Each structure stands twice: as structure tokens, then as C-alpha cells.
Structure 1
Amino acid sequence: MTSNFSETENINLISLGDHAVLFYEENEELLPAVHSFIKRSLKNNEKCIYIDSKDNQKKILAELNITFRNADDFLKSGQLQTFDVEELYGDPDNFSADDMITLIETNVKSAVKEGYSGLSITGELKGVIDFKGGKEEIIKYEWKLHDQIFEKYPVNALCRYNINLFDNEIIKAAVELHDYIIWQGKLYENPYYIDPEGYKQKKVEEYEIKSWLKNIQQYQKKEDLYKEVINNSQKKYSELYNEAPIGIIKTSSNGQVIQVNKKMIEIGGFNTVQEAVNSYSDLGKDLYYNPIKRKEFLSELNKNGEVKNFEFRAKKKNSEIIWLNMSAKITERKEDGNFIIEGFVFDVSEKKQYEKSLEKKKEELSAYNQQLQAYNEEITAMNEELETSFEEIEELNNRFEKMISLVSDIDNLNTISEAEFLNKILQQAVEIVPEADFGSVYTFGDQYVNFIDCIGYDLESLKENKIDNEAFYNQVEAIEIIDQEDMKNRNRQHMSSDDFKEMNEVSLNKIKEIMYLDLEINGQKKAGISLDIKLNSKKSFTNSSKKIFSAFYNIASSFYKMKEYNFLQSNFTKELISSTIKMLEMYDLYTRGHSENVADLAAEIAEEMKLDQKRIDDIYWAGLVHDIGKMLIPLEVLNKEGKLSDSEYELIKEHPVIGSNALKSSKSLQHIAKYVRHHHERWDGGGYPDALEKNNIPLESQILCAADAWDAMNSKRTYREPLSYNHALAEIKDNKGLQFAPAVADALLNVLNN
């Protein structure tokens, strides 16, 4: 649930030692500000005293329960204390500023002793004003807070004044005696604040002039500082804009070019920004090869506010035709109906050429399949003319034809779903394998088996059972044959007694023998197929049937591998990773070329260690992105000249975790996330982030650690020059078995010697 109260803007500027005042006219203005102040105090581990009417307290506590879901815990622990006005201030006629100051002093000492960072307090003295001397006592209370509390103790306070209930003299004093003012939902630094000593010595006008002149000077300094920060930010933005590895363009809907970056100039074949801008008077005619595509682009953009991955043919300066991919959004709409567009542009001409080549190969493959189908039909026709003694050969040929249809489904990945393919493979497996009476096909979910289809069973009854994936995992071979008793034993271990009883009635008690497989792709189990022989049957699965079933296994494996291949291909993994690394290099002054160096060296170490090609590829990609987490480390820390402080070093040490978490969100890269997370672990357990040691560290991470260290030693850093080759070589040898895994260190030394 979200809070019903709006957040007071800039409320977090208040810190211990600050004295703020809220001016309001209606209760609807009071409650959100009080809620924001109390919420800030509790989050900062401050003990909070809240003084108000019972009705207002009830509303505030209700909102705090929405914010924290456990606001009652703050009341029980004593971190939040609520009081009626009379309960804490006493009889308004007898209000004493000195007594109130003493009460606050006692409470802040207690709060610090109890382990809180300080004390926060909010209240309103509206009843006091109605009695003789109340006005003077309120003003005295305000300046004494500064004189005796804020200068000595960790306290912050929010005083509250309904401007309709207090006269102008008190409101003026309240303005001048508070560091910050909250008015109409926003916290402001008070330019009219004066030194409380003026009220103490009753020289208000004299201190007003001095304090206001001082404030004017301070505000001018701040304004100059803000201008400098803004100018620096604009300069950095301009550098990033012009050095970005993708084209950036700002245009109007009527076809005018407003702004382009260097990459966009390069894509268009121009030499300067002005040349590019002058050459495009009407984008529909000057840039688009087909002006209709420009109209389609504007129509979709105007309808949705943004367009993603819009591809079109474009004309370069020299009239060369290229393919562009543009993602854009509307940033401003004009009163005349026109609008301003900002977009990112990629030259995808090479990708289009590759797709064209791929399409040609698919056409060739399709022609080959048609020829194969023609041959198959010819063989079928010949078999029909043979004697009845060749019926077995004819049957085998029919099975082959059905498997060919499954293979053709692999070629049509975009038109057949996973469920449709598994359903079809089950139907044909039961039909082709002669001993099979029943069967089922399923996928492996996060924890439980998901039944897709079945033959001979009630599908809905099967779906009602919760069966752990492990119950259906193969234990020895990719294809296994087990009897009813073995299957019951496996299910019993992974099911509740009720689900096991239900499963017996639905399927297990009907089965004599089961032949099943599970499909594992890149270490992840995807799906499974089970063929069953009914109880009391005299048949058993033969080796011949097992071979036929293995053909189904190969077809299904190919289906999933092709699915994964198409997914990876369509996501431009390599292009995106390369672009990200270039952005990191622009961000971190000392990592230019570092990621590529680490990736190349890590792959060479892996080859030296005779790892298989898939692991070598994974290590290469992990090397490219091992420092991607540095993009969320503050620039001033990343490029700091000189030694880092302890807190800055701890911040730097977060980059493997940040990078790993980012990679986990990518289906195509999540399997290398753990290699990135552990590339700063040490063999002796002294690394980070998890202090893993020895072979608890993934081998891929051990290799990245050595490659990263070697390149770092041979590179210039803010705190040192590059080490000499012999010095760096000695570091590897000296730290073998300490920082570096012995086998990895030996492999690195062999690579360097060669």
C-alpha cells in the first residue's frame, strides 16, 4: 500500500542540530509534513517525541503503519513517543520555556544513552498564546532552543504554527528563529534567519540587518557554486554525448535536424555537425530511402509516445544505401501539433547482410528437405510394391517419415510452441515404439514437474499432483528403463503421502515398466518424456526400442538448442556487451582496453588448461564483462588520484556483486554471473565478496583472477606506474598458492613463456 500523504519535498535536508518550522493554514497541510518529519526521524535512528491532539495522532499512526507496516514496534520500543499538548506542555496558562528546555535536555541525554543517534521533537504551542505573557514565553522558548539545546546536543525540532492563530509579531519571530521553513509541501533554507542572540539581548533590528547581509553573501556563494557544478555537468554530458558509440539525433516532426553527435555524423558519412544539419532539410526525403517509412515512424511515435527498434533503409551523403535501427521518443509537444524527437541510431547493415545470407541458406536447406522428401516418397512408393515379407522394412520407413516431420518442426521454430512440439513428439513416440501403451510429456518448473500432455491418463488429475523435479530426473543414463516398484520408490521420496496415494491411483498402479528421458541443455534440465507399458502386459522394452527412443531424444535436444540459438542470435549479445564495455572505458579512465586484455588472456589460460570450447567461450565473455559493476561506482571514487579511504575501498569492492546481479537478469548471460561475482576471491580465502577459498572458487573465476591481476600489474594506475615484466612475473610466482590457484598460475606462466 502507498501512503495517503504526499512527501514533503527536501525533508531529508534536516539533520541533527537543525531547527525547522512549519507554517500552515489547514490541517490537510499539517499532517503530511508531520508524517514526513517523523518518518525521516525513525529511519535515521532518532528517538522521536510527537506532541499533538489525539485525533491527529490517530491519523499519523495509521499512515506510519502503511509506511513501515510495523509502526506499533516503534511505540513498543519507545523510539516513538506520543503526547497530548496538555500532557507534555501542562496548563497553557502556566507554560514555562525554561521547564520545556529542561525536559528536552533530559530526553536527549536519555536517547543517546539508549543507543539512538539523537532526539527529534515536533509540537505546537497554539494554546499558550491565549494567556497573559504567552507571546513572550513562546519567543523566549524559540531562542532558548538555539542557545541551550541545538548548540550542545544532537537534537532537531519541527515547530508548527497555524498562521491564522498567531499574530504577526510571533510569526515574524518564528520566521527569524528557524534554520528551515516548510511551506505548502516543500522545505526551504531560510534566507531570513537571524542569530538568536538578537532576541536574547533584545536587539532584534540590529541583528536582522547583520544576519540578512551575511545570508545574502552566503547565498551568492552558493549560487556561484551551483553554476559551476551545472557547467561541469553540462561539459561532462557533452563529452559523453559526442563520444557515445551509438548515433544520437534530435529532430522535429516536420523533418528538421536540430542536433546530432559524432557517431551520427559518421553514420551519415558527413564531416561536421553543421554539414549534417544543413544536408537534412526534410528527413523524409533526405534520409529515408522510402519516405513512406518516415510517415509510418511518425504515426507510431505520435500514437505511443515512443518507438523501439524501428528499422529502415537510409541514404548516406554519398548516396550509399544502409540499414538503420532507431529507438526514439517524443520529448516535447508544440502547440501547433508538431513535436520534438530524440533518438538512438544503430547502423545494422552488416546484420541485415547476415540475415540475408542466413535466409539464402535456409532456402537451400528447404530445397534439400524437399528433395529429401521426394526421395522418401519414391522409396515409399517402391516399398508398397514389395512382397509382404518386407513389412518390417516398410514399418521402419514409416517411423523414419514421422521423425522427419519432427525435424521439419525444428526448422519452423517461429510457428510451433514448446508445448505443441512436446505434444507431437509424445504422440509419435507412443505410435512408433511398439511396446508403448501409455505416455506423458512434461517440463521441469522451478520446483515441480509441469505435465504438458499424456496418453492413457487423466491430464487434469496429473496436474493436481505436486511432484518434485528430482523424482523424474534420470539417475544413471540419459534414457532409463525401470519397473513399477523402482518408480514408486523414487516418487515416494519426493511427494507428500496424499499426493503419492493420488499418483498411485492416477498412473503408477496401471504401469508395468517405464522408459523415460530428460533433456538437459547447457546443464539445465528442460523437459522429459515417459513411455509406459500397461500392467499385466507380457511386453518389455527392447534395445531396439531404446535406440528408437534415443532418436526422439536427439530430435528434442536439437529443438531446444535451436530455440536457444535463435534467442541468443536475436538479442545481439556480442554487440551490446561491446558497447557496454566501451561506455565503461569512457567512465573509468584507467580501464581502457583492460576488459579485452583480460578476456583474451583468460581464454589463452583456459586453452592451456585443456578446457572444452564452451568453457573457454564462457570465460572469454566473463572476462569482457568482469568489471561491468564499476559503472555504478561514483566517478570521483573510481578515478581518484592517490590512495582510497577505507570507505571508498569498500565501495569499490562492491563492483563484482553489482556486475553479477546485473548479469543474472539476462537469460543469455546469467550462467556466467557467478564467475564475475568471484573474480576477486583469493586461493587462501582472503578475497571478496564471499571470502571463498581453494576449489570452492569456480575454476572460471580462478582464471579471471590471474588474468585480471596480470593486466593490472602491467597497466598504469592512479597510484603507481606499470610494473616491469620481470617484477610482474615474480609477483605471479610469489603469490602462487596464496592469491592464485597453483594450477592456474602454472598455466599463466606457460602462456607467458610461450
Structure 2
Amino acid sequence: MKKLIFLILIIIFNISIFSITIGLYKAPPIVIDENSGFFNDILKKIADNNNIQLKFVIDSQKNLIEKLRNGEIDAIAPLARTPEREKEFDFNKEPLFFEWAVLYVREGLHLNSILDLKNLKIGVMKTDVFYTGENGIKDIIDDFKIKVNFVELDSYEEIFELLDKKKIDAGVVPRFFGLDEEKFYNVKKTSMIFKSIGGYIMYKKDNNLGKYFDLIDKELRLLKEDNNSYYYKMFNKYFEPVVRKETPEWVKTFIIFGLILIVLIISLSYVYSKLLKVKIKSRTHLLNETLEKLKENYNELKSSRNLIEEIVELSPNPIYIKTVDQKIRFVNTSFAKFLNIEKKDLIGKDLFDIFSGLNNKLLEDSVIEDIEVIQYNKKGYINTFDVIMDGKTYYFKDYKTIINLNNGEKGILVLWMDVTENIEYQKKLEKNNVELEKINEKLFEMINIVNMLGTNIEDLYGYFDYLLKFAIKLSDSADYGSISISRGKEWKFISAVGHDINVLRELKLKSEYMIQTGEELKIFTGEELSNYNNMIFDDEETKNKFFKAIKKTKEIMIATTGISKDRILSFALDIDINSQKSFTENDKLIFKAFINIAKTILSSKMNIDVVKNAYLNFANKLALIAETHDDITGQHIYRVGELSYYIAQKLGLPEDKILEIKEFSPLHDIGKIFIPLEILNKNSRLTDEEFEIMKKHTIYAERLLGNDPYFETALKIALYHHEKYNGGGYPFNLKGNQIPIEAQIVSLVDVYDALRSKRPYKDALSHEEVMKIILNGDDRTSPKDFNPLLLDILKKYSEEIKKIYNTFSD
């Protein structure tokens, strides 16, 4: 019977032992190897106390993460908690230690600031949060907008090895690793530190595994709360030798010398002691009086301190004092009340436990801020953050400053200034601004429409599309609409929204089909409009296509107005047949405004076209006059126009640009009208002074063409057609695509035509001779003077260009 009980106990004992495999990566003194390191010893101690069998595996951090994903190990340590990692794995809650990153540099390199890292090679561990994590070195470098070269490695040892060999310029390692290993390498620590983190255990998502890590957290918390525990013995064993520096020899020598000096002073003091006794006695009374005053000052100081504590306690702003490792030493009532926790329950607690889940980013940012406050003695308002309590979001600005604690330790006093009202008001103001911007947008669109009345509107259809859509947008009721014009016996649709504009434009509609309101605004029902169309259309096929192209309407608002003797403009807005709306007074006001704009545009367009055609004809006459000094027949300017038009087509430019090039390229030498006749008529080569005068014909063109937008293309051609693609041309020595494409085209055509044309001072050349000169170059020109794309077109379509020239030759 006893054997049976013993056997059962053994089975129960074996079942109760749980095995966990934890992957470790080397980071002395935290992890030295499989058997030693601060991390190893603490976990083994906790595991032994709770019948947990631990197995450690050493590998790179990158490989261990892959092994955890594949289920080859149960956990990895030590790692920082990040939102990305928490999506895939779980973490224990109690950090085993706190750490931050330190920047080391190779021997001989000196850095004054983060900006000195520009274009340097920085070694980093691939999967390290100090590298790619939030507020890691990559984030910091990006914030400063400087370029560096990151060298990704598998371990911290590789970083120090490459620094030692000067294959990289700088490297990022944890503080404790740097202190432990820096003596073995030729590396230099900088004052640049960043991103404080906690060292946690990351494990695969498993409820049973989570229970054991909760048990480890509980044991770890108890060890950390006891200053005499195994945790602090191991901490002193591994970290104190690293942190504590060996006393330099010169200090020892100084101490020995000091002791000798003290012995000498004591000897001399004994000799003079008798003499001093009298003075001491006389001063004792004075010292007693001073001591009494000090007691009085101390009592006053104590009263002042009590007064300050009382003021802090009564402050409506949350105030607390903490240590660098985020332990709370003091809180006021406002802070405790905000968190809804008793003051006594907050003292000694870890902020990571209190704020966990409220704002994780606040915790991470706060640790980094604390390091800066202590290291650089910073103080003042540091950050604005939000905290959600009971479903409501509160906004605060935190004020931080260093404070001396009772044990001489440096602490941080934090005051939260509630700015919730300001932030909420700002958000409300931003919302109002968005609504105001929408109103302003409509206003600016209306202004743009009105401004267009004074500009050259080439795309009339596009403008009326825009006008119609905006009228519908501003209307309270309209769903779609149309703009059309009756001209003589024809009725043509210019624009339509909702209706099939392509079909409507193709229909051959008679002018009598269009409803005319005689300058008045009229509203018809959909039924009235349908009856009218059925009655007025005398072509059944056209009527059917018309009815198919237009939407059925509940109401239609129409106004017609005369814009010339035989032209009538029709503007219509429609309400969909299924709509519950009807036209309002606001719709009528908008409608009247838009029909007036449409009328003005069409009238202006007609008048402008007449004037500009006359202007262009006059300019062509001037160009012909200017050219007759070189080309008596005047055929040169027409050939330039046709050849430029052809090349622009082959280049694939927009249709309107191609037409402008054809229309305006004959004006390329219009500035010659201002060049003296003795220079223009000279049959021999021009002198340098004469040539400088001749070159000014490009600039003189602006006197005739001015700044009229209509002649913008003409002016570009006249100004820049003597510029060269590789530079060296005149009047501005432009290069490449700095030269407008229309001027590049005319430049090539002008040279081609000039070489082929007979002049008093030269013979005409054949097409083949000219092609050879332009494509290969001579003492007059070089292929580098022209855009390669244009030369390809000239070469590809050589025969066609030859035919065009011959068609317009004498």
C-alpha cells in the first residue's frame, strides 16, 4: 500500500512539472550564453520555485522570431513590447529590467549632434526596436530629414566587430551591452541615447502558456518589491561591475598624497591647538547663537514646505512625483480623483501598471521625456496627450521638472494642465471652418465663372459644361439641365447634364423645335413639355431619338434670349420625374444669373473672334513685310507654317496646340520690322556689331505681340526660335526643355527652309543636301542644336517634308 501511494505521488509530481523552451539572443550581461546572464538566472530561480522546467536556446533575434512563428520554441526574451508584435504574440506584464539605446562610433570619429550622422554608415540589428520601432533610430533620422546608410546585422556583437574594423561609422546597441562589451573593442560611446524600453518575454498566444507567465509575473513582482531579494543580488552581480568604473591610478596616487598631507596637517594642528583653544572658546558662544538662528530658519523652512505641500494638495491640476523607473512617490488628491484610485493605493505603484490600456504611447513617450529631463536638466511643458476615462476623452499638457527625493535620488515632478475645453473648442472651430470653406468654395467658383467673362475661352463646350453643372449644384431643386442655341434654321445643343449630349449633338434639329420664351423665364410641367414636343416635331424618327436622349422630367425651367440677329440661346434646368421637389425663388434667381452669364460669354466670344481674326490677318501682313527683305515672294512664312504644323502633328501634341503652331509660326520673324533696312538688305556676311542688332529681332517681337494671352504661343515662337537645344543660342541661352516645344519645332523648320531657299548671298540646296547638313552638322549647324525627337521625325518623314516644301516653293 505504501509503495502504491509513493508511486501516485511521483506521477503527480511529474505531471505538475511544466516545460517551456525560451529562445535567447546574446546581449551581455543580460544574456551571456545558455547558462549565464542576469536574465537566465532570474528566470531559472522563478522556474525552480514553481516546478517549471526551462530550456534555453541561443540564436539571433531574427531566427528566434521565425522559430516562434513555426512553433519550434515557446517564447523569446528579452524583447520590447510593440503594437506590431502584440498583434501576433502575447507578452508577460512585468518587465525584468529597463534599458535604452546608446549610439557608439568608430575610433577617431567625433559627433556633435544627430545631424553629423548625415551620409554615414550606421550598424543596427535587423529586428531591433531600437532600429525600426517607434521613436527608434530610423524614426529619429527621418524626423531630422537626413540621409544615412543603415547596415542591418544579426547581433550586437557584429555591430561592435564592424565598428572595431572601421567598416561602419556608428552603431546602435543597448546601454548594458555597450558598458559590458566596449572594453573589448576600439569603439567610443557618444552622449546620444534614446528610446527607453522594458525587457519582456514574448510568447505564442496560448491560454495555458499564459497562465504560467502570469505566475512568473507574480513571482517577479514579489522579487522586485523586496530590496534584499535574489533579483537585486543578481542585479548587483551582473550590472554593478559594468556600471562601476575602475578607479584610475592617478586617483589612487592623489589619495596617498592626500593622506600624507593630512598627517602633516594634524601634526601642525597639535602644535597650534593650545593657541586655538582660546579662540574656540570665544567663538563657541557665537556658534551657539548661530545654531539658534539656524533652528529658527529650519522651522520657517519646514512651515514653508508644509505650505507648498498644502498648495499642491489643493491644486485642481493632477500632480505626481515619480522615479526614473516609473515608481510613484507622491500624488495629490486631483490625480487620485481623476484615476478614481485611493491615494494610498497609488504610492509605490508602477505607472506602467496604472496606465496600461489607457494610453500605451503616453507611457513610452513619457520614459524618453524623463531621460531628457534628467540628462539635460530640462523643464517646462513637454507634450500634449489624451487619456480616455469612463468613455470620455480628456486632453492634458504635462509640465515636468527635476526634484530631489529624500534619499538623494533624482525624481521627476509632473503637473497635468487640463486643456480639454481648449482642444474641443479648437475641433469645433475646425469643423466650422470646413463648412465655411465649402461655402467659400461655391463663392470662389462663382467668382471664377464671372472672371472668365474677361478671358479668352477657347473650349466653349467645356466652359458651358462647367457653367451648367455649377448652376445645378447651386440650385435647391434641379437634377439636370441643358444649354442650346438656335442659329438660322438649326437648333444645336451645346451642353447637357443628365441627358445624352452625344445623341443630342448629332440630331439634325430645326430651330422651330426649340421652345422660345421671349426673354422671359417660364416653368413647364413634364407633361406640358411632352405634349409640346409631340406636337412640334414633324419628323417621327428624329422625335423618337430626341425623346430617347432626354430624361423624363417633373418640371422644367426654361429661358431664351437673343444674342445676335439670327442666334437665340436656350438655358434649361430640370427636376427628375420621381423628385418631390419644385423650383424655388432661389432657383429662379440663380437661373437668371446663369443665363445672363451664358449670353455674355457667347456674345463676347463672337465679338472677340471677329477682332482676333482681323488682328491675326494684320499680324500676318506685318510678318510678310518683314520677310520680303529676305524672301521676295513671301513663301518662306507659309512654308514654315505648314512644315511646323506637320511636325507638331507627328509629335502628337494636343489639337489646339497644333492649330496654334500652324497659325502663329509664320510670325516667328515679325520683329525684323524694327531692324534697320541696311542690315536686312546687306548681301554679304554681317559684322559682329550688325549681328548683335539682328539678334534683337526676337525681343522686338514683344512690341507687336505684347502680353495678350491669345498671342502667347506666337510670342514664345518669336522669342525662342533661335535658342539651341544644347545651349548657346539667343537671346537667353536656354537649354533642352527650358525652350518651349513650339519654338523648338519652328527652330528646326526655319533652319531647314533657310538652307533650301535661294538668297542674294547664297544658292539653294537640295533636300538631300540639307538633310545631311542637319543630321550630321557642318560649320553652320549641329544636330545637337535640335531636340532628338524632332530630328527623328524629320528623318522618318523626310519624303513628306520634301513634298510640303515643294508645294509652297516658287
- For the pair shown, the structure with the greater C-alpha radius of gyration is 2
Output the TM-score relative to the length of structure 1.
0.30
